[in-house]
């Protein structure tokens, strides 16, 4: 399977000097360091003139002094995945991988992503915004139990908590608020969880996720060895294509482009509900996009090359 592409590069010299941006200052720094180093090594193995930069407040100065031609963004979370870095790169005219400013900003904002999806008639679990002094009984009456509480502007499940009893909701709110001032509670969907990787407007094979933990949290994503990644995912070809197209519509609907990942829950009746978009997904040995790419016939090196080619588009 070869994802459709508008621009292809055959000679690594055509990329020029590439800065692989990783690390940063967000709560996802450690994951970004692992992802970035994996990408850097994959590009260097393919003779791309790539250099790794641990991103700080002086990143634009380093990029200009280093005379880089383009940036491969492997920053997760705030400051790298939320449109701020993308906008900064545009001010100096430097091409970069993945989504532009708008898609990055919206993709990082789980709450506004859900609100936009609702306006576009894309199914997403019911939710309530939580603010200081919220009424616990009203939230539970609206959403039932269990529910999941999320900070709007974090990735990697950081700050998220499953709430199974009313007396747990306030503590979950406080835990989420440590990472973002905007917090919401979301209905818990009982069913199967899938993820849809997208590369150049082409959905890759679905992966079904199974974990013995209460949900697919940070430990299940990056540390645990008992998380199961099932591909082929077990759906019929028709159902898999239906979810792929839904994910692609949702991805493009909030302005995302290039590459990314959409997370989906299917209830017991098989009805899909979209959870969130990741515009710079993980690229570690536990990460989902490389697994989906492998199922589509792409090595990790080929995947990194294809993602770097997205920097040749204009945002």
CATH of domain 12-97: 3.40.50.20
Handedness of CA 38, 98, 296, 298 (dihedral sign): negative
User: What is the distance between the alpha carbons of residues 118 and 167, in angstroms, rounded to a whole number?
Assistant: 30
Looking at domain 127-187, its CATH architecture is 2-Layer Sandwich (3.30)
Cα 63 to Cα 83: distance, rounded to the nearest angstrom: 18
Residue 96 DSSP label: B
Yes or no: say if 12 and 49 are a contact pair by the CB < 8 Å rule: yes
Burial class (CB in 10 A: 0-12, 13-18, 19+), 138: exposed
Burial of 35 (0-12, 13-18, 19+ CB in 10 A): buried
At residue 220, the pLDDT reads 47
- CA 4/CA 283 separation, integer angstroms: 21
d(CA 210, CA 44) in angstroms, rounded, equals 34
Q: Which residues pair with 230 in a beta bridge?
A: 208
CA dihedral 269, 270, 271, 273 (to 10 degrees): 120
Q: Which two tokens stand for residue 21?
A: 């941006």
CB distance 80 to 280 below 8 Å = yes
According to the model, what pLDDT value does residue 4 have?
Answer: 44
Residues 107-123+190-295: name the CATH superfamily: ATP-grasp fold, B domain (3.30.470.20)
Q: The pTM is what?
A: 0.88
Catalytic residues: 28, 156, 222, 261, 263, 276, 278, 282
**Dihedrals φ, ψ of 263, to 5°?**
-100, 140
For 157, 280, 283, the CA distances from 76, given in Å and listed in that order, are: 12, 6, 10
Q: What is the pLDDT of residue 223?
A: 52
Domain residue limits, the chain: 12-97, 107-123+190-295, 127-187
* Per-residue pLDDT tens listing for the chain (315 residues): 344 445 689 999 999 999 999 998 888 899 899 999 999 999 999 999 999 999 998 999 999 999 999 999 999 988 899 999 999 999 999 999 999 999 999 999 999 999 999 999 999 999 999 999 999 999 999 999 999 999 988 765 788 899 999 999 999 999 999 988 999 999 999 999 999 999 998 999 999 998 766 655 555 445 556 778 999 999 999 999 999 999 999 999 999 999 999 999 999 999 999 999 999 999 987 789 999 999 999 999 999 999 999 999 876
The answer to whether the beta carbons of residues 287 and 35 sit under 8 Å apart is: yes
């Amino acid at each position: 399977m070869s994802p459709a592409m508008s621009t292809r590069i055959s000679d690594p010299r055509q990329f020029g000097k590439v800065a692989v941006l990783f690390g940063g200052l967000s709560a996802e720094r450690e994951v970004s360091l692992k992802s970035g180093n994996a990408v850097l090594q994959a590009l260097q193995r393919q003779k791309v003139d790539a250099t790794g930069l641990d991103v700080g407040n002086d990143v634009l100065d380093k990029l200009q002094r280093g005379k880089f031609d383009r940036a491969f963004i492997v920053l997760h979370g705030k400051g790298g995945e939320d449109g701020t870095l993308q906008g900064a790169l545009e001010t100096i005219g430097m091409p970069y991988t993945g989504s532009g400013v708008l898609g990055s900003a919206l993709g990082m904002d789980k709450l506004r992503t859900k609100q936009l999806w609702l306006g576009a008639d894309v199914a997403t679990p019911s939710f309530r915004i939580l603010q200081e002094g919220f009424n616990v009984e009203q939230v539970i009456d609206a959403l039932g139990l269990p529910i999941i509480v999320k900070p709007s502007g974090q990735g990697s499940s950081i700050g998220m908590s499953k709430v199974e009893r009313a007396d747990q909701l306030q503590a979950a709110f406080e835990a989420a608020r440590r990472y973002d001032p905007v917090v919401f509670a979301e209905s818990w969907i009982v069913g199967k969880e899938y993820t849809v990787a997208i590369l150049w407007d082409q959905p890759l094979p679905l992966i079904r996720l199974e974990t013995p933990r209460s949900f697919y949290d940070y430990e299940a994503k990056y540390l645990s060895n008992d998380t199961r990644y099932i591909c082929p995912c077990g759906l019929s070809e028709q159902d898999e294509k239906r979810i792929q197209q839904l994910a692609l519509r949702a991805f493009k609907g909030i302005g995302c482009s290039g590459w990314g990942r959409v997370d989906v829950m299917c209830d017991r009746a098989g009805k899909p509900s979209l959870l969130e978009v990741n515009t710079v997904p993980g690229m570690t040995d536990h990460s989902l996009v490389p697994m989906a790419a492998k199922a589509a016939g792409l090595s990790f090196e080929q995947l990194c090359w294809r993602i770097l080619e997205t920097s040749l588009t204009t945002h």
